[in-house]
């Protein structure tokens, strides 16, 4: 496992990380979550991600139970704030919700601080200055060590950097965007000027495009799968996507690996990706995906070019 500095900070995170979206509290109870997190940790994963909205807080509670069995110094924990409840002040990035939401998350996680606090989405109803000041307050209070954003447009993200510098506040160190073979614009194009200018790190999510890049939907939608449970995802399975998945599966088979492993390894080959967030509903699934580390060396320039040629036909079709 390789460890990389997150942005220009001194914080080291594993190149593969483990997230709780759609699994903790639903597919994984405390026992199963502990099994997965312990396995991930034993394989070198030190970064675990959560959010206040995951399972309406249940994901943080489950992870909190497991974290009580880890030494705090050995792990990097992040959570995300934006959707905390239904009342007007329980959502967004106002000073009120950032502070109250973060403290509620800390209570559920059983922690005194999180290593990284992500602002889960841009809040166009709250001034960026208010958000920057609120996060800086949490950092000075010892409840947050670093902060970042998730799926912010480049203009608003750069505004945060500029305001933080003007005010003498801490600037974001990382963005958490979706990134996979089918969804690439934000990481590869939109954020391109920010990597060198501000040293922006990335903690990318959905490397398997909601399971499409596992190949399990090539012959229908299995019962209990993500697309079976979330109807809104089914629109991504166009005939064009099916064709791309078939060709990519053949490429992976030629390398002697699975499509999922090749897809994760492809993300890791991008030098602007700090860590790739994995999700899993079982230890076996997690073990299979962690094995993608061994696939990186098989992705030669020629293989990468062929992957790009095939995937370009579905570029952003799944967005």
Residue 54 catalytic?
yes
What angle, rounded to 10 degrees, do the helices at 95-109 and 58-67 form?
50
φ, ψ of residue 211 in degrees (nearest 5) = 95, -10
Total H helices, total E strands in the chain: 12, 10
Q: What DSSP state is assigned to residue 118?
A: E
Q: What DSSP state is assigned to residue 178?
A: B
Extract the tokens encoding 167.
Answer: 């005010």
Residue from 3, 39, 54, 191 carrying the catalytic annotation: 54
Q: What DSSP state is assigned to residue 112?
A: S
Give CA–CA dist 34/36, Å, rounded: 5
Give CA–CA dist 11/4, Å, rounded: 8
Give CA–CA dist 86/88, Å, rounded: 7
Give CA–CA dist 159/165, Å, rounded: 10
Q: Which helix (H) or strand (E) holds 311?
A: helix 301-311
State the Rg of the chain over Cα.
19
Give CA–CA dist 271/278, Å, rounded: 18
Q: Which amino acids are annotated catalytic?
A: 54
């Amino acid at each position: 496992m390789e460890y990389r500095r997150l942005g220009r900070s001194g914080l080291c995170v594993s190149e593969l990380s483990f997230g709780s979206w759609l699994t903790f509290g639903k597919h994984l109870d405390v026992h199963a979550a502990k099994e997965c997190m312990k396995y991930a940790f034993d394989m070198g994963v030190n970064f675990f991600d959560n959010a206040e909205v995951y399972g309406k807080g249940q994901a943080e509670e489950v992870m909190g139970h497991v974290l009580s069995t880890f030494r705090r110094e050995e792990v990097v924990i992040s959570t995300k704030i934006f959707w905390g409840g239904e009342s007007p002040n329980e959502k967004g990035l106002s000073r009120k919700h950032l502070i109250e939401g973060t403290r509620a998350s800390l209570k559920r996680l059983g922690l005194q601080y999180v290593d990284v606090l992500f602002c889960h989405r841009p809040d166009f109803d709250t001034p960026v200055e208010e958000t920057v000041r609120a996060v800086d307050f949490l950092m000075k209070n010892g409840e947050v060590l670093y902060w970042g954003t998730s799926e912010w447009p480049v203009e608003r993200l750069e505004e945060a950097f500029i305001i933080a510098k003007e005010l003498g506040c801490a600037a974001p160190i990382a963005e958490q965007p979706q990134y996979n073979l089918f969804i690439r614009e934000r990481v590869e194009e939109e954020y391109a000027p920010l990597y060198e200018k501000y040293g922006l790190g990335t903690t990318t999510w959905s490397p398997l495009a909601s399971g499409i890049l596992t190949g399990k939907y090539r012959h229908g939608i299995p019962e209990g799968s993500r697309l079976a449970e979330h109807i809104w995802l089914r629109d991504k399975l166009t005939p064009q996507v099916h064709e791309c998945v078939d060709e990519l599966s053949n490429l992976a088979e030629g390398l002697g690996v699975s499509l999922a492993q090749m897809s994760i390894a492809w993300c890791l080959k991008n030098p602007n990706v700090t860590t790739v967030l994995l999700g899993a509903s079982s230890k076996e699934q997690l073990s299979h995906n962690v094995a993608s580390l061994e696939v990186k060396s098989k992705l030669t320039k020629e293989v990468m070019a062929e992957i790009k040629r095939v995937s370009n036909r579905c570029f952003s079709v799944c967005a």
